[in-house]
């Protein structure tokens, strides 16, 4: 299995950028697809985007498609979520998840989450 730790969250102003990291340990990271999810207060967890094992394909939910970029560095066992032009509605706890079977999920391995707060 793989263990995941997110970092890079914080409090920013609307229009700012922030990059989250998802560091993996354990089994070979390069065989795992990675996804980012978020959960805002009082709301269900929401899919943000995903990247396949090689990094050749990425997928995004429509609301972030033109603002967020997912990437990965398999040598560093780390995936990234670059968030640009952040808006208050992006405020949430962000989670990374990994799974070796299907980039569309479901995802079996999850990090503990990192808080992102965007103020107007």
Backbone angles phi, psi at 111, to 5 degrees: -85, 180
Per-residue pLDDT of 51-94, as tens digits, reads 999 999 999 999 999 999 999 999 999 999 999 999 999 999 99
Asked whether 94 and 114 are in contact (CB, 8 A), the reply is yes
Percent of the chain with pLDDT over 90: 93
Confidence (pLDDT) at 86? 98
Per-residue confidence (pLDDT) for residue 47, from 0 to 100? 97
Q: pLDDT tens digits for 24-59?
A: 998 789 999 999 999 999 999 999 999 999 999 999
Closest to 95 in 3D by CA, of 112, 82, 109: 112
User: Who's near 47: CB < 8 A, 6+ residues apart?
Assistant: 35, 37, 61
């Amino acid at each position: 299995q793989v263990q995941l730790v997110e970092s890079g969250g914080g409090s920013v102003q609307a229009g700012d950028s922030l990059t989250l990291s998802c560091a993996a340990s354990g089994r070979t990271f390069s065989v795992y697809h990675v996804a980012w999810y978020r959960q805002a207060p009082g709301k269900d967890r929401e899919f943000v985007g995903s990247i396949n094992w090689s990094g050749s394909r990425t997928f995004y939910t429509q609301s972030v498609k033109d603002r967020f970029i997912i990437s990965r560095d398999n040598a560093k066992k780390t995936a990234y979520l670059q968030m640009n032009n952040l808006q208050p509605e992006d405020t949430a706890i962000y989670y990374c998840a990994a799974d070796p079977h299907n980039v569309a999920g479901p995802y079996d391995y999850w990090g503990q989450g990192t808080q992102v707060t965007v103020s107007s």
